[in-house]
Structure 1
């Protein structure tokens, strides 16, 4: 296998555009109604080493007397590249578009209408705040009902009038919110008055809060926001839905009231179209950093809160398994009675609707096709005017844009495909259900099972059995849904079979499955992966049990290194990205120190001081304890700016293997963080992983 062949395959599988947001507008005519769907896409350009961003529009013509019946879908307009946009938002009437754009070192606020650019403010030179936040954690751009004001979140500007002139102040340590949020520390909510072109910072937010995800309350004289508590110190927020936060209402005169319960985790507030109800997600503080969430509804008139969806501990077979991910910005039906969202369900990601009156949950994904052969993932981009816009994909089918109207009671959605990929792949894939052996059952949470997804080329490159690559997700409380994954697709295109394992603790299997892993890392999850591999090998005679490798990142790297240490005769190669190697030495360097305690079964509090008992438990559950048994060649890929898992973790294993003359190689990416997400880094990691697997399998 040559580098050129691998590079060509990666360019093919990584180049498919992915829709990440959409919006809908409509117009009524005497005999028909016209819907305009605008989708925003990202696409990797390997030549430039960057991600491209563009928009595209579709026109749907529906019957006048039956808006839910599409008569015609017109061919789409051309793709329009977008440059420098950080945030964007349509006004309530859809007549105005606000854009926060970055040009050089300046950030601009632009207001566009049907005649072109209507207003432009240079937010940087106004010097009212620091950088505008465009991340999903805090960022927002919200229009008032009257369309005269805009709301966003930015970094607080340092007030020179209150600063001393002591030279030592320049080097005072400033906390931030950790991995992927390193430049974010002290937040403010800003209001732009479009009539007089002024920008103001809202006052009255308690000093112990970092505000974000703000939106206008009815009447536009107050705002709702989520406040994250940052005292006594900040912990990493990225991928962590277990941080103490609450929902607040802030009047423009500075009066601030908490609307949700205390000592909870709250995020994703979404206001109903009739502006009477606010829904939001709620979870527990500390414990698993990602968990099954409840969906709460707040009646704004009575200020009473009730659970629309509760946490699901053990889902029934084939039933809704709970909420595990953020809500899209638009998730309400037009009648304000239904909420639509995507969520993990076992090895898939499904599309659901909950009715506020009955609290009944309905699956909206297409039941007329063979689900297991087409789409294993349905991700809601938006629902507006009752038109759903979703991104569908599967292990052999790249992202596809589809639309359908919310159905009446008991009816199914009729789906139309707006944009499908220019090619699909001839892979065979199937979900695998796995049950632990009796001795591997969790006595505290007995009877749990888990799953995996097996992807393999339908026509192997050679007559021999297919080498198997075991792919393990990080988290550990995340999931490998049956969706398009360019690493899996690239390996399958190169002739490997890939087994993506959702061990106990993965999302989509209920809260008990998540809780079962606490205190059991390095044991239960390791045995689950091995059990899944043995199940796949026993059920599929085309797989080669003599050529098995393992790959994964973060906790997936932790498990990869455990597997080659605990089963040294079984695995022939390992490739790990930013793996946890020694949880005891990681304790003082990770931005999520709470998880280091929780994962090994210790309760966390901010004033926790390491004890010999806790450090011993962390060391005992770490791959470094099995390093002397490792025989398989190990490839390590490390991000020099990783705040979550210090790159010195990987170097600790590197030294242990080098001292024993065991084959090991390190790739060091000095400008990348935990996710190794730079375009050139991802391409380099795939190339080296494929070469490593080819060489050693």
Structure 2
């Protein structure tokens, strides 16, 4: 092997941005950029590279092409990249499979982990054809088909014009139980964390289980999500708490008011963790009559207080639109800016029954954030529960914790499912 391929990002700025693919030739001692950052896209064009790391083995036998996966709008696709010509070719265009994760490349055989939202992960293997014929690859499934036939899914495209002349495009993934056309399921709106991440159309145990319990789930990839071009990512810092909140609410209202009547319009719930919890708190503050109940997992509540307790203080400043330097001491104007973007400012408007779930050992969003919201809601007479999970950090992903959290989420939603809501508030 005479070449090294690696991903590169500029220092500073938002976490999880569009990457460049760089090639270093050991023999010639030269570096060249193979794939550049993509700022904007039209339709389903290649949006740039969004991968945290490359497969340990990604080179083809010709020592020219590499096979990796990348977020591509609301999917994750496998691509082959010619390091001589910089050509990027998508190997996966199956509308039935939303997520492809390249695990290994050996002797031009590509092994990938795949799944759509209604099927647990499975393996696919394909032999990569010669250069310029890559799209002819034939994939072979390993193992049996375990599709959940009673769950359906689709990617929804949203177009919003917040500035009048400029149309903003983003997407969401709607996962629903198959029901009688006269029975509309309640909806759980679920924005992702990050904020610069994405819900690819892959299997989610929580989403599938919620569908089995009768709920539809809307995963919202609001503006600033990865996989939609670098310009979308750079547009969000300085606008969190407004632009992302408006996108999520717009997506929810699109589904609720759809002419296809996909869900029950008066039974809408809300859930989110980390920045998704931040958005959940904002939404119940800015749209207090829209949601029946909410679940917040390790939510960002007050950025001004979080900045001095989190392990990522730069995140607080960058996403609030402020510059960051470790030597800088925040002044009153800076604290005011952090407060302006924080959902705690809407505490007086919040009345949605809420359950807050915290990891006792969370360093990313310390539990003091969720406790601050709990105190604010409880003191104002809002129905609220606080669950703290020992020995858990930010993901809340220990087996017993996942089980307990899911049972509490479903029970919380069921308890508020048949609550009467005045028609004029919808």
TM-score by length of 1: 0.58
Which residue pairs with 1:294 in the alignment?
Answer: 20
Q: What is the match of residue 186 of structure 1? A: none
Deviation string 1:219-253 (CA, Å, 9 cap, x unpaired) is xxxxxxxxxxxxxxxxxxxxxxxxxxxxxxxxxxx
Within-5 A mapping of 1:412-431: 412-420=136-144, 422-431=146-155
Secondary structure class of the residue paired with 1:343: strand
Q: Is 2:191 the counterpart of 1:469?
A: no
What SS does structure 2 have at the residue aligned with 1:635? strand
Q: For the aligned residues, what is the CA RMSD?
A: 1.4
Other-structure match for 1:529: 248
Q: 1:682 aligns with which of 402, 410, 414?
A: 402
Q: 1:364 aligns with which of 81, 86, 91?
A: 91
**1:261 alignment partner in structure 2:** none
- Counterparts of 2:155 and 2:140 in 1: how far apart (Å)? 26
User: Does structure 1 residue 582 correspond to structure 2 residue 308?
Assistant: no
Quote the residue 1:387 is aligned against: 109
**Preserved CA contact (<8 Å) 1:554 1:578:** yes
Which contiguous aligned blocks of 4+ residues in structure 1 show a shift greater than 3 angstroms?
420-423, 438-441
1:670 alignment partner, one of 375, 390, 400: 390
Where structure 2 has 5 or more consecutive residues not aligned to the other structure, the ranges are 418-426
In 2: Cα distance, 1:469 partner to 1:629 partner? 21
1:140-164 Cα deviation digits (max 9, x unpaired): xxxxxxxxxxxxxxxxxxxxxxxxx
8 Å contact from structure 1 (residues 324, 508) kept in 2: yes
For residues 654 and 440 of structure 1, the distance between their equivalents in structure 2, rounded to whole angstroms, comes to: 38
In 2 relative to 1, CA 429–423 (structure 1 residues): closer, same or farther, beyond 3 Å? Answer: closer
TM-superposed CA distance for 1:512, in Å, is: 0.5
SS in 1 for 2:267: strand
Contact 2:347 2:376 in 1 (8 A): yes
What's the secondary structure of 1:482's corresponding residue? coil
Q: Do 1:395 and 1:485's aligned partners in 2 also have CA atoms closer than 8 Å?
A: yes
Aligned partners of 1:321 and 1:509 also within 8 Å: yes
1:637-676 matched pairs, under 5 angstroms: 637-676=357-396
With over 3 angstroms needed to count, the CA separation of the structure-2 counterparts of 1:438 and 1:649, relative to structure 1, is closer
1:378 and 1:390 in contact (8 A); partners too: yes
Shift of 1:302: 2.0
Stretch of structure 1 that moved more, 319-328 or 644-653 = 319-328
Describe the SS at the equivalent of 1:563.
helix
Contact 1:501 1:532 in 2 (8 A): yes
- After TM superposition, give the deviation of residue 440 of structure 1 in Å: 7.3
Q: Does residue 377 of the first structure (1) align with residue 96 of the second (2)?
A: no
The one of 350, 354, 379 equivalent to 2:77 is: 350
1:538 deviates by: 2.6
- Deviation string 1:398-423 (CA, Å, 9 cap, x unpaired) is 11111001122234111111124545
Q: Counterpart of 1:489?
A: 208
Among 29, 41, 48, the alignment partner of 1:322 is 48
- 2:59 corresponds to: 332
**Structure 2 CA distance for aligned equivalents of residues 636 and 452 of structure 1:** 24
**Larger strand proportion, structure 1 or 2?**
1
Check the 8 A contact 1:504/1:513 in 2, yes or no: yes
Rounded to whole Å, the distance in 2 between the matches of 1:548 and 1:339 is: 44
SS at match of 1:429: strand
Provide the residue aligned with 1:546 in structure 2. Answer: 266
- Rounded to whole Å, the distance in 2 between the matches of 1:422 and 1:580 is 37
Which string of whole-angstrom CA distances, capped at 9 and with x for unpartnered residues, describes residues 590-623 of structure 1?
1000111001111111211111111111111111
Deviation digits for residues 608-645 of structure 1, max 9, x if unmatched?
A: 11111111111111111111111110000000000011
User: What is the match of residue 129 of structure 2?
Assistant: 407
Partner Cα separation in structure 1 for residue 106 and residue 144 of structure 2: 22
SS at match of 2:338: helix
- Mapping 1:30-49, distance limit 5 Å: none
Unaligned ranges ≥5, structure 1: 1-274
Give 1:164's aligned residue.
none
Structure having greater relative contact order (Cα 8 Å, sep ≥ 6): 2
Using the TM superposition, give the Cα deviation of residue 447 of structure 1 relative to its aligned residue in structure 2, in angstroms. Answer: 4.0
CA offset digits 1:336-370 (Å, max 9, x no partner): 110111111111111101112221111111x4x5x
CA distance in 2, matches of 1:297, 1:312: 18
- The aligned residue for residue 423 of structure 2 is none
How is 1:1-20 mapped onto 2 (pairs within 5 angstroms)? none
SS at match of 1:575: strand
The match for 2:422 is none
Counterparts of 2:164 and 2:310, CA distance in 1:
30
Contact 1:448 1:513 (C-alpha < 8 Å) held by counterparts: no
Note the 1:277-292 alignment, pairs <5 A: 277-292=3-18
Partner SS for 1:431: strand
Corresponding residue of 1:169: none
| Correspondence for 1:143 | none
Tell me, in whole angstroms, the C-alpha distance in 2 between the residues paired with 1:611 and 1:301: 52
Aligned to 1:617: 337
> Which has the larger Rg?
1
Give the counterpart of 1:305 among 31, 37, 45. Answer: 31
Deviation at 1:285, TM superposition (A): 1.1
In structure 1, distance between residues paired with 2:216 and 2:9: 37
Structure 1 pair 559–438 and aligned structure 2 pair: CA distance change class (3 A): closer
Q: Take 1:431 and 1:440, find their aligned partners in 2: how far apart are those partners?
A: 25
Equivalent in the alignment of 2:219: 500
Deviation digits for residues 298-337 of structure 1 (CA, Å, limit 9, x no counterpart): 1112221111100111123212111111111111101111
CA contact (8 A) 1:399 1:421 kept: no
By how many angstroms is 1:437 displaced? 2.4
Taking the aligned partners of 1:553 and 1:644, their CA distance within structure 2 comes to: 12
Q: Which residue of 2 aligns with 1:563?
A: 283
